[in-house]
Chains A and B, each alone.
Chain A
Amino acid sequence: MQGKGLLIGLSVTLRHFFGRKETVQYPEEKLPMSDLFRGGRLVLNEKKCIGCKLCAMSCPNAALALTVEVDDQKKRHMKKYVHKSGRCLYCNFCVEACPTKAISWDKNYENACYYKEDLTYDAVARNKEGINNEQ
């Protein structure tokens, strides 16, 4: 009969009207991110880094600009580890390419900013400033 489908539809929406709400109230509640979540800024563990530049080589979009210096014991160190996150595809290839697991994501997804320049940052400088000092 014509009109039966309309009434069933109305009953569905009425049920939802009184039903449980699905949304997450964002600034107060936050969804947990998975362990593998790729996003936010790169954190460089300078103790582990051997300066091989494999991360920059595996990057599809040249988002990493690295400067390596060799100290007197012939050990390679990162002088600058610039991540142009505006170019980043967040494909995780750099993290996977690292032979010593020296880079990781900080899993912060709230990285909107007002200026394009703010998207580019130096992970080594951030380590010096004491941001992300957990390792």
Chain B
Amino acid sequence: MIKTETYQLSMGPVHPSTHGVLQVLLTLDGEKVIKAVPCMGYLHRGIEKLMEQRTYFQCLPYTDRLDYVSAMNNNFSYCHAVEKLAAIEVPEKAQYLRVIMAELNRIASHMIFIGSLAVDIGATTGMIYPFRDRERILDIFNELCGARMTYSYIRIGGVKNDLSAKIIDMINHFLSALPSMLDEYNDLLTGNEFFQHRLKGTSLLSAEQALHLGVTGPMLRASGVNYDLRKENTYSSYDDFDFSIPLGKTGDNLDRYIVRMQEITESAKIIRQALDGLPEGEFTAKVPRVLRPPKGEIYDTLEGPRGEVGYHIVSDGSAKPYRIHIRRPSFINLQALDTMCRGYLVGDVVVAMSTIDPILGEVDC
């Protein structure tokens, strides 16, 4: 008597393609996915709780360690929220510097995405090239603030230090080399038939589903929803720059990849405009040595490379936050994994996970 049954496969937490320590409980029928449940918490460090015992300034290094491939954007979001809470006016030059660094970091983060997607579908060389090029951005950051991953560059009230001529030169060099880098990825990956077949029409996420799941960032835009906080809720002089928001049509894996590729070009556009129009002035505002924001609370979100990075800060009037809650885009986007995987094969789970592009430091917080 032959009978078939479904079985459970625990993908992770030790698995080559879960981008860290994520466990996905797959219910499979042969190779077909019936259910995919992401289980997280393997990298939980209690950052939200840790922040309650530190002053507003001391919280900053912890935001680096959430989404460690785009730490600038986390710094940015946190500082922006605290500034709003304490009503600190940021000089225009600092706003421009923040935009430049956040966009550079967005490029670096998207390069990591291309690399990890490539290695997840088996193109090892496709991983090495973006990682090699990302090094140049890290070199810029290293020259700028002395760290390659955990920058703590964007500070409450402004930024840590000014751009030197050498850094401007490095950024210009990078921007002029960027089109040829993108051409290389396009030649090696985007144009490759195997790559397209793997990505096209898999893990569909319709606009309606994406909105229902609270998905944000490039994933949402790949489903065709034109929603980008840089345009919708302009902050930090973003309205000074001319850039477009790339949109996908169907919301499949290929769209999510293409949207991110186009975002790299758009980010480069913003950086170039910001460098050209860099205003004179102070790079940081006058901030008291002990910051005591007035009693109250604030929720503030900015557009990170993975979606909306939001900080909800409750102040009780003391030097330490009463409570901080962080809206981590990877965590919320990861909810879509089940929807994206049902009915597809095991090989597609890996690709879907890659195009969600979760950073586990952020997911587990």
Binding site for B on A (CB under 8 A): 2-6, 8-9, 11-13, 16, 22, 33-39, 58-61, 89-93
Contact B142 A37 (CB under 8 A): yes
Task: Say what secondary structure dominates the interface of chain B.
Answer: helix
Is B261 on the interface with A (CB-CB < 8 A)?
no
B29-75 with Cβ < 8 A to chain A = 54, 57-62, 64
Contact B57 A93 (CB under 8 A): yes
Partner of A90, one of B147, B193, B194: B147
| Chain A neighbourhood of B193, CB < 8 A | 2-3, 5-6
Of B183-191, B268-276, B342-350, B357-365, the one touching chain A: B183-191
Least CB distance, A96 to chain B, in whole angstroms: 8
Contact A93 B61 (CB under 8 A): yes
In the complex, the chain A residue whose C-beta lies closest to that of B155 is A96
Least CB distance, A14 to chain B, in whole angstroms: 11
Contacts A2-B193, A6-B194, A34-B142 given; does A93 touch B58 at CB 8 Å? yes
| Chain A neighbourhood of B184, CB < 8 A | 12
Least CB distance, A85 to chain B, in whole angstroms: 15
Partner of A36, one of B143, B187, B188: B143
Docked Cα-Cα span, A37 to B149, in Å, equals: 12
Is B244 on the interface with A (CB-CB < 8 A)?
no
Is B258 on the interface with A (CB-CB < 8 A)?
no
Contact B192 A13 (CB under 8 A): no
- In which size bucket is the chain B interface? 20 to 34
Query: Which of A11, A33, A91 counts the most chain B CB atoms within 10 A?
Result: A91
Is B132 on the interface with A (CB-CB < 8 A)?
yes
Is B11 on the interface with A (CB-CB < 8 A)?
no
Contacts A12-B184, A34-B143, A36-B143 given; does A5 touch B150 at CB 8 Å? no
Contact A91 B192 (CB under 8 A): no
Least CB distance, A55 to chain B, in whole angstroms: 13
Contact B58 A90 (CB under 8 A): no
Binding site for A on B (CB under 8 A): 54, 57-62, 64, 125, 132, 142-147, 150, 152, 161, 184, 187-189, 191-196
| Chain B neighbourhood of A34, CB < 8 A | 142-143, 146
Contact B150 A90 (CB under 8 A): yes
Contact A5 B143 (CB under 8 A): no
Contact A8 B54 (CB under 8 A): no
Contact B150 A36 (CB under 8 A): no
Docked Cα-Cα span, A34 to B164, in Å, equals: 12
Contact B61 A13 (CB under 8 A): no
Contact A91 B191 (CB under 8 A): no
Contact B192 A36 (CB under 8 A): no
Contact A92 B194 (CB under 8 A): no
Contact B191 A8 (CB under 8 A): yes
Contact A58 B57 (CB under 8 A): yes
Contact A60 B146 (CB under 8 A): no
| Chain B neighbourhood of A13, CB < 8 A | 125, 188
24 contacts between A and B (CB under 8 A): A2-B193, A3-B193, A5-B193, A5-B195, A5-B196, A6-B193, A8-B187, A9-B187, A13-B125, A34-B143, A37-B147, A38-B147, A39-B146, A58-B58, A60-B58, A60-B59, A61-B61, A89-B61, A89-B150, A91-B61, A92-B147, A92-B152, A93-B57, A93-B152
In the complex, the chain B residue whose C-beta lies closest to that of A60 is B58
Docked Cα-Cα span, A89 to B63, in Å, equals: 12
In the complex, the chain A residue whose C-beta lies closest to that of B135 is A22
Contact B191 A9 (CB under 8 A): yes
Docked Cα-Cα span, A93 to B54, in Å, equals: 13
Least CB distance, A135 to chain B, in whole angstroms: 20
Contact A38 B146 (CB under 8 A): yes
Docked Cα-Cα span, A38 to B187, in Å, equals: 38
Least CB distance, A20 to chain B, in whole angstroms: 12
| Chain A neighbourhood of B144, CB < 8 A | 36
Contact A12 B57 (CB under 8 A): no
Docked Cα-Cα span, A92 to B184, in Å, equals: 38
| Chain B neighbourhood of A91, CB < 8 A | 60-61, 64, 150, 152
| Chain B neighbourhood of A60, CB < 8 A | 54, 58-62
